[in-house]
Amino acid sequence: MALMFTENWCRNIDSALIHVRLLETINTNYGLHIEDLINVLHSDVQRAALTMEPPMFAMHEKSWDMLEAKFALPTEASWETDCLSTRYPILTEMRQALAALDIIQGPEALQSHRQAATIRCLHAMGLLLDHYNLSSDITEKYVALAALYRIRREANMERISVCGITVFDAGRMIIPRLKELLFAASADPRELRLWTCSVGILSGDGWFYEELDKQLRKEGISNPSELSRIIANVEGRQLPQRFAPSIKPASKGQDIDSYGRPHI
């Protein structure tokens, strides 16, 4: 496992893949300890996000289901059948990941529930990267990337400072690509474009402020509460208070602070 972490850190992808396949075999035949498995998934998802490639570690769908069985969705999670998620099923992955992060954050959650929620969140990020790489639809691609970045910021997995050095800055790859896709998209739902701009604002890139302002004027939206409602509709839950400041103008190029959630 340590060798996989080292190869991932050094970006020796071919060598890392050898260790990943070995860990896959061990997990399939004997089962990795749950914390070891989470560490492997975390490292794999971080590498994948930094390169915008699919995760390398694979498990059978039944294995994912068993590991995530103790992750219980909120009882009010009726968003799985709303209009947006029906048209763009990948939104369900983001919504479940955000719900999982709520469990991880909750002080009353059992350790087994936290572990299941962590695996659900990491699994969702992997699926979003898969969708980004496999889909040919521009709107679906930018939604997948925006959802990935939204989860990473919520989970405090982005731009982590280690000994004064910023690591895991996947935004350097995601944000420019997100702008390209938004620029190329046409006839995409206004809710998704507004939400994606609000997510892009988390990076502090001034382009997203300008694009959001342009879209708000185009749609005749001047009430902040209406914008909050649109964003909350996309995320399928009430807009967290800590997310609200991110839709207000800030210094151009200033990165919005992370929400202070624990790392996963």
Q: How confident is the model at residue 261 (pLDDT cuts 50, 70, 90)?
A: very low
Q: How confident is the model at residue 88 (pLDDT cuts 50, 70, 90)?
A: confident
Q: How confident is the model at residue 13 (pLDDT cuts 50, 70, 90)?
A: low
Judge whether 255 lies within some domain: no
Q: Are 64 and 88 in contact (CB under 8 A)?
A: no
Judge whether 242 lies within some domain: yes
11 pLDDT higher than 80: no
Judge whether 262 lies within some domain: no
230 pLDDT higher than 80: yes
How far is 159 from 144, CA to CA, in rounded Å? Answer: 20
What pLDDT sits at residue 75?
46
Contacts of residue 98, defined as CB under 8 A and 6 or more positions apart, other chains included, come to 150, 151, 154, 235, 237
DSSP string, 147-210: HHHHHHHHTT-SSEEETTEEE--THHHHHHHHHHHHHH--S--HHHHHHHHHHHHTTT-HHHHH
Judge whether 128 lies within some domain: yes
Judge whether 264 lies within some domain: no
241 pLDDT higher than 70: no
- What pTM did the predictor assign? 0.86
What pLDDT sits at residue 137?
95
| Mean pLDDT to the nearest integer, 184-196 | 93
Top pLDDT among 221 and 75 is at: 221
Top pLDDT among 214 and 256 is at: 214
Contacts of residue 170, defined as CB under 8 A and 6 or more positions apart, other chains included, come to 46, 49, 50, 52, 149, 152, 158
| Mean pLDDT to the nearest integer, 230-234 | 91
Judge whether 253 lies within some domain: no
2 pLDDT higher than 90: no
Helical spans, DSSP H, in the chain: 2-9, 13-29, 34-51, 61-67, 83-87, 90-105, 111-134, 138-154, 171-184, 190-201, 206-219, 224-235
105 pLDDT higher than 80: yes
Top pLDDT among 43 and 181 is at: 181
- The chain-wide mean pLDDT, for the chain, equals 84
Top pLDDT among 253 and 184 is at: 184
For residue 155, the enclosing domain spans: 2-247
Whole-number Cα distances in Å, 161 to 126, 133, 167: 23, 29, 6
Domain count, the chain: 1
What pLDDT sits at residue 169?
86
Q: How confident is the model at residue 153 (pLDDT cuts 50, 70, 90)?
A: very high
